[in-house]
Amino acid sequence: MSARARLFDDPVPELPAGVRLYRRCLNEQEQAALLEEVVEILRRAPLFTPRMPRTGRAFSVRMSNTGPLGWVADREKGYRYEPAHPETGRPWPAMPKMLLELWAELAGYPAPPEAGLINHYAPGAKMGLHIDIDEEALDAPIVSISLGCSARFRLGGLKRREPTISFDLHAGDVLILEGPSRLRYHGIDRIYPGTGSLPSEIGEGRINITLRRVAHP
């Protein structure tokens, strides 16, 4: 199937309670505006390679953050939120207004997100099945925005071994995990190279931004 055919022949799957998928929530202009903001953020807070706790194995995804807190991962101290970039030592760039507005519109939460984790998937990158559990405010949703190439998303249950469903995420899609699905396992099996474009400063692939509330307001 061609990339274009895939985009238009892609039924919205039946999703469990607490999962909301907004196809093309951001139109092309909005995606381009957001990508400009991402370029500026990455200029000041370059993508870094996170590493697994203990083994030190590198993620295939590279990351940065926007907002007062950023998610980081390294061999010595594991997964956590930090107010500064692990390599530059500088505070993360402020969260763009667009992202704060998107959260205000969709999250239904009485406080703004503190972390916007930016993942860059080059062709071949993926993200294993995991849960987002490093936040104290588990009553807040995870709001996830896709840009650039499409990707195969896998959604599981509350335990690692439970069955999973898979569907594609495309540029402009917004996916929300909340309430009974806030702690569902999820991951990215692969991206589809050539299905979308990113600014040349970023390079080929896919950008995903997840907005998270970390502390209880």
Q: Tell me which of Fe ion, ligand SIN, none is bound by residue 127, counting a contact when its beta carbon lies within the kind-specific cut-off of 5 to 8 angstroms.
A: ligand SIN
Rule CB under 5 A: is residue 132 a binding residue for Fe ion? Answer: yes
Query: What residues numbered 147-206 form the site for ligand SIN, per CB under 6 A?
Result: 153, 169, 186, 188
Rule CB under 5 A: is residue 178 a binding residue for Fe ion? Answer: no
Interface mask (CB under 5 A) for Fe ion, residues 87-126, using x and -?
A: ----------------------------------------
Rule CB under 6 A: is residue 119 a binding residue for ligand SIN? Answer: yes
Residues paired with 58 in a beta bridge: 51
How would DSSP label each residue in 126-152? -EEEE-----S-TTSPEEEEEEES-EE
Backbone conformation region of residue 182, classed left if phi is above 0, alpha if psi is from -120 to 50, else beta:
alpha
Q: Please, which residue, 110 or 171, has the CB nearer to ligand SIN?
A: 171
Q: Tell me which of ligand SIN, Fe ion, none is bound by residue 144, counting a contact when its beta carbon lies within the kind-specific cut-off of 5 to 8 angstroms.
A: ligand SIN
Say how many C-beta atoms besides its own lie within 10 A of residue 1's C-beta: 8
User: Is the alpha carbon torsion for 166, 21, 102, 141 positive or negative?
Assistant: negative
Give the binding site for ligand SIN (CB under 6 A): 119, 127, 144, 153, 169, 186, 188, 208, 210
Give the binding site for Fe ion (CB under 5 A): 132
